[in-house]
Structure 1
Amino acid sequence: MKKRFCIASLLLLCLTSPWIAVAQTVILESPVRVVTSSDRSIFPESWLSPDINAEAEVLQESQIEPSRRVLYKVMKKYPGHILARNLETIYVLHRLKYKGISASGTNSRRNVYVVNRGSRERYTDAWIERTFHAEFSSKLLRNFPQYLDNDVWKKANVESFKYGVSGVKSVKQKKALKMFDPSLHAEGFLYAYAKSTLENDFNSIAEQLFLGDSRFWSVVNKHQRIKEKTDLVIAFYHKIDPKFSRSFFVSLAEVESAEIG
């Protein structure tokens, strides 16, 4: 009886504890593996330290197919060799926490992490797509730092401006809004979170280029500082692959407008 109790207790622990060898569910195998899991092994070991304490919650079953659909569409915007050389796995999750904050996405040396809680909680296809593009742009920026001159980038800002300390700090200070803010456009920023770090500023432009939002191009055409940054981001991607020309990114906006129409 005692032995049976121990086995039953272990089974119950495995079913109820989110950190004991939870199986991964593969949502897509290619062009890049897309997986959902709540196992902490999906994170780099350093992220399991008390100061970071990364945690994941497995994707709800109702969001598996929508996640597969949108991420497959998103990855088709990149040449296969770019994905293969710079991305190992995309983890799509119901919740993502680290450093005391709840995040919609992040990235590591090998992977990208994206949250999808469904459109009822405002996790629309467009939101998930822009999150992926932003996080993947961070990986590319780390992998190809020689393709962006930070000093030239900073010259597009007002001379007295200085970036903040980190994105996490901005979230904790409730300065992480990612909605277009016309009051910031003349200063060279699309929204408040872009002012947190140069990387997040770069992300803000990259995500809009790939998202294909015609509103973004209206802002670019009206504000010189944002135009200068947009030109730098396009040049960065064009050095990675010639496919990423200005006409390519403009065509994404044209396709998006045609689909809406």
Structure 2
Amino acid sequence: MSGDIDESAQAIERKYGIAVEYETGDAAIPELWRNPPANGTAEPMTKANLCRYLPVLAHELDKYPADVIRQNLATVYLLNSLGFFGVQYGGTSLDHSIYLTGGNTVEGYDDSYFATLFHHEMSSIFFRNYDFPTEEWNSVNPGRHVYAKSDRQILQAITDGEDDGGDESLYSEGFLSKYGYSTLENDFNLYAEMAFTHPRQLRQLAEKYPRIRKKSELLRKFYTGISRDFHLDY
């Protein structure tokens, strides 16, 4: 099993020039995040789950131009758990690194979950590294909507939006779930993950809801502005 894991990770590393780290726990977290008040913690992913998720990671990476990955991503950390401020995180990103967690299928961690998480965090790196159309995106939202600003408001908005799907009222306002209410970046993350993992669903929503259509168009413009080799199938 260990040999297969190493070979799968090395194949990804050779193709994209990135590091795939899967044997580190707390050491994966920068010291600043390990200290109070964040008190970051992490556990390495189990071998059984590494065997499941490494092929998923390779498949999802193939949806990106290789040169874009090389320019923007340095390290992928594969973890069993990740926590900050006493809250468990599915994943996060810092600079040119992303941190992804994955558990057992019986716990709800299926391949779709992991794929979605990867695109979510990858989109955050792009959000930081490129000129995102913030004003245009904000102009699509209802006039009364204001994203959360303080760390406390953001954390509360994220908590309120966990495991929450969309509904007619959210869709009509241009949001895919309550989680998207929290920050503009999180709103964009949801669109990015759906574009790469459930493009048909995003296309159907865009056909029905004008605000979702406008944000989908902005997302496509943003990604093709990064590279013309992006092919978003929605």
TM-score by length of structure 1 reads: 0.79
Distance (whole Å) between structure 1 residues aligned to residue 68 and residue 51 of structure 2: 25
Which amino acid counterpart does residue 162 of structure 1 have in structure 2? V
Could you tell me which of 141, 144, 169 is aligned with 1:160? 144
Is the Cα–Cα contact under 8 Å of residues 26 and 43 in structure 2 kept in the other structure?
no
Report what 1:91 is aligned to: 77
Is the Cα–Cα contact under 8 Å of residues 140 and 174 in structure 2 kept in the other structure?
yes
Over the matched positions of the two proteins, sequence identity in percent amounts to 29
Report what 2:232 is aligned to: 249
Distance (whole Å) between structure 2 residues aligned to residue 75 and residue 36 of structure 1: 17
Which runs of 5 or more residues in structure 1 are unaligned? Answer: 1-24, 254-261
Q: Name the count of aligned residue pairs.
A: 221
Is the Cα–Cα contact under 8 Å of residues 140 and 215 in structure 2 kept in the other structure?
yes
Shift of 1:48: 1.5
Distance (whole Å) between structure 2 residues aligned to residue 128 and residue 43 of structure 1: 20
Alignment deviations for residues 87-143 of structure 1 (CA, whole Å, 9 cap, x no partner): 111111111101221011111112111111022111111111111101110011101
- 1:53 is paired with a residue whose SS is coil
Aligned alpha-carbon RMSD (Å): 1.7
Could you tell me which of 121, 125, 133 is aligned with 1:149? 133
Which runs of 5 or more residues in structure 2 are unaligned? Answer: none
In terms of mean alpha carbon deviation, does 206-215 or 216-225 score higher? 206-215
Which amino acid counterpart does residue 203 of structure 1 have in structure 2? N
Report what 1:129 is aligned to: 115
Distance (whole Å) between structure 2 residues aligned to residue 178 and residue 93 of structure 1: 24
Question: Are residue 42 (structure 1) and residue 42 (structure 2) matched?
Answer: no
Which amino acid counterpart does residue 155 of structure 1 have in structure 2? S
Report what 1:109 is aligned to: 95
Report what 2:176 is aligned to: 190
Report what 1:28 is aligned to: 9
Alignment deviations for residues 60-95 of structure 1 (CA, whole Å, 9 cap, x no partner): 121111111100101011111111111111111111
Alignment deviations for residues 40-71 of structure 1 (CA, whole Å, 9 cap, x no partner): 22122221221111111111121111111100
